[in-house]
């Protein structure tokens, strides 16, 4: 490429414009700040929590089922109370958030990668390949995700790797369908023809030229799907078929509190659920705004 | 129209066949089912004996044919835990689940449509903003947690409604239902509301966008110019036109209500087939799991087929786009 066509700092200017448009919606900004705060707190959990809830030397069974605000035997205040084993609930929630976020993000990344490749291949190859891939996508999307995940986990067994696999299976089709849709439009554009006539290989045309132009809707889907995956993992773990007690995500924490609820000890289930809800709402708010900003039809 | 119906029938058939193959490979080939059926200290001879009795020593294609025959006869074997026919157990529990899903559907319509209409016709009203905020929240709420909170609030703290079970059932035309007694409704309300939450949000959104679009159409302006009362314009002209997509989506969503009832039934100890499935999963009761999956797939495919055909009968544009893809 010659210097004549390269514009000065194009990426930066574009990002600044994008950020400015995103910031026009105050609710979305609140969502973004909330999301960043949640992620930061989860990452820093070992340094900011008053207690490592899974260090048996630090947990005292005498502290169990304390209401919010009670003082622990070690002297620190348990702002959200404690659970049946005497673990400080706030600490458990921050540690649980790490697991929930890891499962959600990891399964999302894997599913997005698979969906991207299959969607691009379907759109670019066309013919029998496309029909086969899209039939599988249709089949996958016609069944509700909670049911597919439940059956898969039933067959695979417990464990963090199995949960991630199940979540990948229920998510990839959404990416594949979306990517195929935008790749079909891109494929007909002139720059693809130009790339081909320059003698670029099929793989290079698809992954270096078509792919970057299909990413905007993928980012939007990724936010919604990650929120969905986190919620689905929590549901499965709550039902006792998801993560084991050794990987205490938010869903496991809520399940542990279920047995104490009928005796009025609401906080053991309430606060982990509230953390889950805030996380999902924050992701959805950001995703909603991204959809508006990235939608070319709304661009003025 | 006939071509469309035939094509949809073929598609439905393809889905069922694909699911049968998937379920077969999922449950019969991955892992050795024999180890779930014999006690841990079984001898090699006992293991071989079980293998022969259940036909697991046959080649894969023979096993598949046997399985296919079983599916066609609706026979999935006896539940390991209950000892009786798996399909019988599932069909026994089915009315409770359908009743719950049906009640949730009714709630979604009764609550969702009026709120959606209001938000669509008065988009700038503060109440409308409130309705939309609630509907966004409804999409984000984890269903199972809301269920717990409903029990906490209405059963434990206020003591208004029972937390678990189905209550007394009355037999009407051979079907046991709790729809015809006050006590039955008291038991049904919380689980149905829990199951309906997501769908209420969905109906609000659909109705709102439909109403917003319709209220700008020429026929509405004309009706208004003719001097018809706002009530008549909204109730007859607008509602009639936006009902087609709403009814279609709700028809398709009925299947997902049945699927999600696994969660709700477990929380509220509702004796439906979803609770049965979860117990089967926890105890590795293979015939029950296979039976449930096949019953639900059949239910899904049938609902999708009926909705698609009805929709294309109502809206001819669908048939045209359908033949292009």
* pLDDT class of A105 with cuts at 50, 70, 90: very high
Report the number of distinct structural domains present in chain A. 1
Give one DSSP letter per residue of B155-180, joined into a string. Answer: IIIS--S--SS----EEETTEEESTT
**pLDDT tens digit sequence for A15-39:** 888 888 888 888 888 989 999 999 9
Looking at the predicted structure, is the pLDDT value of residue A13 above 70? yes
Residue A13, in any domain of the structure: no
A1 within some domain: no
CA-nearest residue to B260 within chain A is: A146
Instruction: Look up residue B55 and give its two tokens.
Output: 């036909």
Q: Is A239 on the interface with B (CB under 8 A)?
A: yes
Task: Say which CATH number the domain at A239 has.
Answer: 1.10.3720.10
Mean pLDDT on B31-36: 61
Interface residue B44 vs chain A (CB under 8 A) = no
Q: In chain B, where does the domain assigned CATH 1.10.3720.10 lie? A: 90-314
Nearest by CB to B142, from A139, A231, A240: name it. A231
> Is A239's CB within 8 Å of B144's CB?
yes
Task: Output the pLDDT for position A169.
Answer: 92
Q: How many residues does chain B have?
A: 325
Chain B residues close to A231, C-beta within 8 Å: 142
Q: Is residue A55 part of a domain?
A: yes
In a domain, A85, yes or no: yes
CA–CA separation, B253 vs B307, rounded Å?
Answer: 10
pTM over 0.90: no
Nearest chain A CA: its distance from B45 CA (Å): 27
Greater confidence, A85 or B259? B259
Q: Which of B31, B148, B263 sits opposite A146 (nearest CB)?
A: B263
Asked if pLDDT for residue B297 goes beyond 80, the answer is yes
Task: Read off the pLDDT of each residue in A72-99 and give the average, rounded to a whole number.
Answer: 77
pLDDT digits (tens, 9 = 90+) for A219-244: 888 988 999 999 999 999 888 888 88
In terms of DSSP H, where are the helices of B216-238?
Answer: 218-225, 230-232
A157 touches chain B (CB under 8 A): no
Instruction: State the pLDDT confidence band at A204, using cuts at 50, 70 and 90.
Output: confident
Residue A16 lies in a domain: no
Query: What's the pLDDT score for residue A279?
Result: 93
DSSP-derived 3-state class of residue B85: strand
CB-closest option in B15, B145, B266 to A273? B145
Residues B169-198: pLDDT tens digits?
A: 666 666 666 666 677 778 888 899 999 988
Measure A1 CA to nearest chain B CA, in Å. Answer: 39
Looking at the complex, does the CB of residue A191 fall below 8 Å from at least one CB of chain B? no
Distance from CA of A251 to the nearest CA of B (A): 9
Pull the structure tokens for residue A119: 């969607």
The architecture CATH gives domain B90-314: Orthogonal Bundle (1.10)
Q: Residue A235 and residue B27: Cβ atoms within 8 Å?
A: no
Q: Is A135 on the interface with B (CB under 8 A)?
A: yes
Please enumerate in sequence order all residues whose Cβ is within 8 A of that of A35, keeping only pairs 6 or more positions apart, or say none. Answer: A279, A282, A283, A286
| A135, A238, A280: residue with CB nearest B140 | A280
CA–CA separation, B223 vs B209, rounded Å? 20
Cβ proximity of B262 and B277 under 8 Å:
yes
- The band of B50, judged by pLDDT with boundaries at 50, 70 and 90, is confident
Residues of B in Cβ contact (< 8 Å) with A277: 140-142, 145
Query: What confidence score (pLDDT) does residue B306 get?
Result: 84
DSSP H stretches of helix in chain B = 2-24, 34-37, 44-53, 60-72, 86-121, 126-140, 143-150, 182-215, 218-225, 230-232, 239-268, 273-282, 286-314, 317-324
pLDDT category of residue B36 using cuts at 50, 70 and 90: low
Print the domain residue range for A142.
Answer: 21-59+68-298
Question: Three-class SS of residue A157?
Answer: coil
Distance (Å) from the alpha carbon of B172 to chain A's nearest alpha carbon: 31
Per the prediction, chain A carries an average pLDDT of: 82
DSSP class per residue in A3-70: TTTPPSSHHHHHHHHHHHHHHT-HHHHHHHHHHHHHHHHHHTHHHHSSS-TT-TTT--GGGTTPPTTE
**Whether B136 contacts A280, CB under 8 Å:** no
pLDDT value at residue B119: 87
B104-119 residue pLDDT tens:
999 999 999 889 888 8
CB under 8 Å to B49, separation ≥6 — which residues?
Answer: none
Looking at the DSSP bridge assignments, the partners of residue A88 are A82
Q: What does the pLDDT read at residue A3? A: 45
ipTM of the complex: 0.78
């Amino acid at each position: 490429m010659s210097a004549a066509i390269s514009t000065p700092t194009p990426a930066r200017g574009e990002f600044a414009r994008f950020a400015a448009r995103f910031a026009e919606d105050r609710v979305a900004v609140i969502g973004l700040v909330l999301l960043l705060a949640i992620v930061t707190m989860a990452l820093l959990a070992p340094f900011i929590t008053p207690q490592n809830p899974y260090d048996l030397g630090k947990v005292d069974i005498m502290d169990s089922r304390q209401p919010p605000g009670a003082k622990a035997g070690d002297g620190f205040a348990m702002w959200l109370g404690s659970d049946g084993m005497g673990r400080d609930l706030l600490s458990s929630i921050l540690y649980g958030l790490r697991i929930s976020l890891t499962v959600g993000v990891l399964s999302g990344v894997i599913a997005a990668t698979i969906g991207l490749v299959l969607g691009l291949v379907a759109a670019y190859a066309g013919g029998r390949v496309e029909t086969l891939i899209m039939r599988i996508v249709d089949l996958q999307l016609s069944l509700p995700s909670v049911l597919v995940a439940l059956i898969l986990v039933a067959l695979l067994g417990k464990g963090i790797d199995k949960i991630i696999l199940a979540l990948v299976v229920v998510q990839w089709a959404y990416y594949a369908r979306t990517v195929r849709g935008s790749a079909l439009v891109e494929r007909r554009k002139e720059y693809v023809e130009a790339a081909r006539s320059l003698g670029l290989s099929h793989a290079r045309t698809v992954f270096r030229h078509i792919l970057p132009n299909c990413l905007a809707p993928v980012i939007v889907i990724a936010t919604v799907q990650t929120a969905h995956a986190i919620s689905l993992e929590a549901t499965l773990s709550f039902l006792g078929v998801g993560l084991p007690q050794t990987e205490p995500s938010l869903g496991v924490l809520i399940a542990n509190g279920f047995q104490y609820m009928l005796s009025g000890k609401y906080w053991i289930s309430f606060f982990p659920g509230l953390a889950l809800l805030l996380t999902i709402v924050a992701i959805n708010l950001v995703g909603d705004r991204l959809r508006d900003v990235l939608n070319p039809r709304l661009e003025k | 129209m006939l071509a469309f119906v035939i094509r949809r029938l073929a598609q439905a058939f393809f889905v069922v066949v694909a699911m049968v193959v998937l379920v077969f490979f999922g449950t019969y080939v991955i892992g050795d089912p024999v180890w779930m059926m014999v006690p841990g200290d079984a001898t090699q001879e006992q293991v071989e004996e079980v293998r022969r009795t259940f036909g697991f020593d046959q080649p894969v294609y023979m096993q598949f044919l046997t399985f296919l025959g079983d599916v066609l006869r609706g026979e999935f074997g006896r539940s390991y835990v209950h000892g009786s026919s798996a399909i019988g157990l599932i069909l026994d529990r089915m009315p409770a689940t359908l009743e719950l899903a049906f009640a949730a559907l009714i709630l979604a319509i009764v609550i969702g449509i009026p709120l959606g209409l209001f938000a669509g016709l008065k988009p700038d009203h503060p109440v409308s903003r409130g309705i939309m905020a609630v509907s966004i929240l409804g999409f984000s709420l984890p269903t199972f947690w809301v269920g717990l909170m409903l029990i906490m609030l209405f059963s434990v703290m206020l003591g208004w409604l029972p937390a678990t079970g189905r209550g007394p059932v009355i037999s009407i035309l051979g079907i046991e239902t709790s729809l015809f007694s006050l006590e039955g409704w008291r038991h049904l309300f919380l689980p149905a509301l829990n199951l309906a939450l997501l769908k209420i949000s969905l109906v609000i959104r659909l109705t709102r966008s439909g109403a917003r679009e319709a209220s700008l159409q020429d026929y509405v302006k004309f009706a208004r110019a003719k001097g018809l009362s706002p009530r008549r314009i909204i109730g007859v002209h607008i509602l009639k036109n936006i009902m087609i997509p709403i009814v279609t989506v709700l028809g398709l969503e009925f299947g997902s209500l049945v699927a999600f009832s696994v969660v709700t039934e477990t929380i509220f100890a509702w004796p439906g087939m979803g609770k049965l499935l979860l117990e089967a999963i926890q105890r590795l009761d293979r015939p029950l799991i296979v039976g449930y999956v096949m019953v639900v797939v059949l239910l899904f495919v049938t609902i999708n087929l009926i909705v698609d055909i009805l929709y294309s009968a109502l809206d001819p544009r669908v048939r045209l786009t359908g033949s292009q893809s």
